[in-house]
């Protein structure tokens, strides 16, 4: 169900109702908190339920929508919503399992899917606290920490159990209608004969065989732990599990991205596509001409089209906007890639500077917009699209410089221009500044909220500012003018936004000065810190319209880099960047399928034969290796060149550079020419004379 219909005054009345009557325990929020300007806190779902009751006369009930929908509803209207950081403590004794979380039910352990462990420890009868002694690769805390701690404490007693007792040992029972999951097994094979699944934990004994038991969510082994206390514990012994709610990012968003990547991985045809989807960032390394850039574009087309094509040229215009290509070089810098100041001609003819996004930041903003829109409800998307349509209609039907507007205090102004980020206005009567640029996003957010703004202070409160800025007076006047012009009630109908994948290709990634180009984005591009967990303030954030806004790379962005192994700049490639990319070697014969584009079959076979023989000869030179072999892209030049021209104008100069300074340089080059099949004029006669 959708959020019910009511207006602004109903929300205010609902808050007053809650102040007077309180919140029933069953309706108290466990995840999000609605915060008013004076700091009062309310459960968002219950506020909606009461507002619905006041406006529509229905019973106060919160079961028609979820917490995330309630949060999104209020945030879209400018209200402040906070994540409630509450943790719960579950105590396990031989007699009982009790939690401070009133939602916990021992007969519904499946609820554990919704929670994340924070801590797990044991308190003995004599008040000694014991924590898990972790193996080197073991997480500090996970769903398996509690049962592993029980194994650690009672290992000797469990070892001494008979085979039958181990086989019948109770581990989990999700609800009264299910049978117990039982068994402590000596191996994965034995466990899978009982239950063929990957839902298990392994306890590695220090001296002896391992133990395997069933384990899934944070609650799935509570019965096992309690059974250990019943059989082996002393009176007063207890285990403590501390846990919290999973956040939206950990739960809903992560599942959506994982499902989309799994679907794409199944549909994509190129095996390298799966590697990119798994790793987020990959670099193709290898010899020059092995088609690394060609392969990168093939992968992009394969993923974007969900396996329909591997040819970039076959993508639609819309799909091509999901791919960006850039080539690094020694003078490339942060302002080209992320953001920087660029010259700008002012309206009066003078020169100035303005902050402009670089190619990567612009691309990420597109992906981020898609990612965030894909998580929004249909209602919120319709409000946003309606607001954009109303604004577009308004600016299309005015005469720049002619239409006049007026602030509350009587200052008259006109709109001189509009672009993607700003509304430029002229204020003839203002002695200090007769021109001003307004943030177009602020006006759009006001329209999207569906709220009524009756005074400038309403805008100040809406944006959470302590003091109003000069621009808010003009924002208020424009908001009123746009609302009035769009008063016929434009209501957009939109389909849910599909989560798309965006692929950024960096050719010759090692030729740029990486630390200078990426700056603070080293952190954000790490696959483990995609999304808001990796947000950073950029170097020019103090010049942004909202200085507090952070930059992050969403989960639907994938990066492909290419580099030549023999390029001298490889030695200086930043080690911090190496750690954030998966390096995949592309050998000369890995991309020979490129030569299928040579229409003549005989020409293609001859090219493959010469390429293989030349590369085999290169490997015979002691100081050369696979990184010096010749890639298939060189042989694509045969579409316009002869084999001899390809040798003299391309391959010979390259190979000459490779062998310069080596012993018997001339002899090596002759062997290369012979393997390739090139014969210089008169060379054949000389060879025959030598043989005779």
3-state class of 235 per DSSP?
A: coil
Measured N-to-C along each axis, helices 378-396 and 470-485 cross at an angle, to the nearest 10 degrees, of 90
pLDDT-derived band of residue 490, with 50, 70 and 90 as boundaries?
low
SS3 letters across 492-527: CCCCCCCCCCEEEEEECHHHCCHHHHHCCHHHHCCH
User: Which one has a higher pLDDT value, 424 or 487?
Assistant: 424
Q: Which helix (H) or strand (E) holds 69?
A: helix 67-76
- From CA 97, how far away is CA 557, in angstroms rounded? 44
464 near 80, Cβ under 8 Å? yes
For residues 510-542, one letter each, b for 16 or more C-beta atoms within 10 angstroms of the residue's C-beta and e for the rest, the string is: bbbbbeebbbebbbbbbbebbbeebebebebbe
Secondary structure (3-state) at 438: strand
Task: Find residue 354's DSSP bridge partners.
Answer: 342
DSSP 3-state assignment of 136?
Answer: coil
Give the C-alpha distances (Å, rounded to integers) separating 63 from 53, 59, 448, 662: 13, 11, 26, 79
**pLDDT-based confidence at residue 236 (cuts at 50, 70, 90):** very high
DSSP 450-501: T----SHHHHHHHTT-SS--HHHHHHHHHHHHHHHHTTTT-----PPPPP--
* Structural contact between residues 603 and 549, judged by C-beta atoms closer than 8 angstroms: no
Q: What counts of helices (H) and strands (E) characterise the chain?
A: 27, 23
CA distance 410 to 477: 10
Mean pLDDT for the chain overall: 87
pLDDT at 186 over 90: yes
Rounded to 10°, the helix 271-279/254-267 angle is: 170
Mean pLDDT along residues 166-174: 96
The residue behind tokens 């009567």 is 429
| End-to-end Cα spacing for the chain | 94
Give the pLDDT band of residue 489 (cuts 50, 70, 90): low
Radius of gyration of the chain (CA): 33
Q: How do the domains of the chain map onto residue ranges?
A: 8-83, 87-251, 378-486, 588-676
Does position 565 have pLDDT exceeding 90, yes or no?
Answer: no
Cα 505 to the center of its chain, rounded Å: 16
Count how many residues are written for the chain.
692
**Could you read off the pLDDT of 79-107 as tens digits, one per residue?**
888 877 778 999 999 999 999 988 899 99
**103-117 burial string, b = 16+ CB within 10 Å, else e?**
ebebeebeebebbbb
Confidence of residue 250 (pLDDT cuts 50, 70, 90): very low
507 - beta bridge partners?
327
Task: Please give the structure tokens belonging to residue 133.
Answer: 């002694």
Question: Higher-confidence residue: 452 or 153?
Answer: 153
| Distance in angstroms (rounded) separating the CA atoms of residues 275 and 265 | 9
DSSP state of 253: I
CA distance 546 to 291: 43
Q: Which pLDDT belongs to residue 552?
A: 93
Across 364-375, average pLDDT: 91
Residue 503: C-alpha distances to residues 273, 323, 343, 496, 514 (Å): 11, 5, 29, 22, 19
Query: What integer pLDDT is reported at residue 688 of this predicted model?
Result: 44
Does the pLDDT value for residue 31 go beyond 80?
no
Q: What was the pLDDT predicted at 382?
A: 83
Cβ pair 161, 94 in contact under 8 A: no
pLDDT tens readout for residues 251-285: 556 566 666 777 677 788 888 999 999 899 999 99
């Amino acid at each position: 169900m959708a959020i019910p219909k009511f207006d602004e005054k109903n929300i205010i009345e609902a808050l007053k109702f809650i102040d007077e009557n309180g919140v029933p325990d069953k309706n108290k929020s466990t995840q999000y908190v609605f915060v008013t300007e004076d700091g009062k806190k309310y459960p968002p779902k219950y506020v909606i339920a009461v507002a619905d009751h006041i406006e529509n006369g229905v019973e106060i009930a919160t079961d028609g929508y979820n917490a995330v929908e309630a949060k999104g509803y209020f945030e879209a209207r400018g209200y402040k919503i906070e994540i409630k950081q509450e943790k719960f403590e579950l105590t396990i004794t031989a007699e009982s399992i009790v939690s401070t979380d009133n939602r916990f039910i021992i007969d519904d352990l499946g609820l554990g899917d919704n929670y994340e462990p924070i801590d797990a420890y044991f308190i003995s009868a004599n008040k000694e606290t014991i924590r898990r002694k972790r193996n080197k690769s073991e997480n500090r805390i996970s769903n398996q920490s509690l049962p592993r701690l029980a194994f650690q404490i009672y290992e000797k007693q469990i070892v001494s159990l008979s085979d039958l007792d181990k086989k019948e040992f109770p581990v989990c029972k999700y609800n009264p209608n299910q049978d117990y999951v039982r068994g402590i097994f000596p191996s994965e094979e034995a466990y899978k004969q009982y239950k063929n699944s990957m839902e298990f934990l392994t306890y590695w004994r220090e001296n002896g065989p391992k133990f395997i038991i069933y384990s899934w969510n944070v609650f799935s082994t509570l019965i096992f732990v309690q059974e250990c206390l019943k059989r082996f514990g002393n009176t007063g012994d207890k285990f403590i599990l501390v846990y919290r709610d999973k956040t939206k990012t950990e739960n809903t968003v992560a599942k959506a991205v994982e499902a989309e990547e799994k679907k794409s991985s199944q549909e994509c045809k190129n095996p390298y596509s799966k590697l990119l989807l798994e790793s987020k960032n990959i670099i193709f390394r290898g010899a020059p001409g092995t088609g690394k850039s060609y392969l990168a574009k093939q992968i992009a087309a394969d993923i974007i089209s969900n396996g329909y094509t591997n040819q970039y040229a076959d993508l639609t215009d819309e799909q091509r906007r999901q791919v960006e290509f850039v080539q690094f070089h020694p003078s490339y810098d942060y302002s080209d890639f992320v953001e920087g100041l660029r010259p700008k001609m002012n309206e009066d003819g003078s020169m100035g500077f303005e902050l402009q996004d670089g190619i990567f930041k612009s691309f990420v903003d597109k992906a981020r917009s898609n990612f965030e829109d894909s998580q929004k409800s249909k209602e919120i998307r319709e409000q946003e699209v309606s607001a954009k349509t109303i604004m577009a209609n308004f600016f299309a039907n005015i005469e720049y410089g002619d239409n006049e507007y007026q602030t509350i205090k009587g200052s008259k102004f006109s709109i001189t221009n509009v672009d993607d980020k700003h509304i430029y206005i002229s204020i003839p009567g203002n002695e200090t500044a007769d021109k001003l640029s307004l943030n177009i996003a602020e006006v759009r957010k006001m329209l999207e909220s569906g709220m009524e703004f009756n005074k400038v202070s309403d805008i100040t409160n809406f944006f959470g500012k302590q003091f109003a800025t000069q621009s808010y007076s003009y924002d208020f006047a424009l908001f009123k003018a746009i609302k009035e012009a769009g008063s016929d009630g434009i209501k957009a109908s939109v389909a849910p936004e599909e989560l798309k994948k965006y692929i950024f290709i960096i050719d010759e990634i090692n030729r740029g000065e990486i630390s200078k180009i990426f700056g603070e984005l080293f952190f954000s591009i790490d696959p483990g810190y995609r999304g808001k967990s990796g947000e950073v303030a950029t170097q020019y954030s103090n010049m942004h319209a909202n200085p507090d806004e952070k930059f992050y790379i969403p989960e639907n962005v994938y990066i492909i880099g290419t580099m030549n192994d023999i390029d001298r700049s490889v030695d200086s490639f930043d080690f911090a960047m190496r750690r954030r990319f998966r390096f995949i070697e592309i050998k000369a014969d890995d991309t020979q399928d490129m030569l299928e584009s040579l229409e003549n079959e005989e020409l293609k076979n001859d090219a493959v034969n010469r390429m293989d023989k030349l590369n085999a000869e290169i490997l015979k030179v002691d100081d050369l290796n696979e990184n010096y072999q010749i890639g298939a892209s060189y042989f694509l030049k045969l579409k316009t060149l002869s084999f001899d021209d390809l040798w003299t104008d391309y391959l010979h100069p390259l190979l000459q550079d490779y062998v310069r300074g080596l012993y018997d340089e001339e002899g090596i080059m002759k062997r290369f020419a012979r393997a390739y099949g090139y014969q210089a004029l008169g060379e054949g006669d000389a060879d025959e004379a030598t043989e005779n």
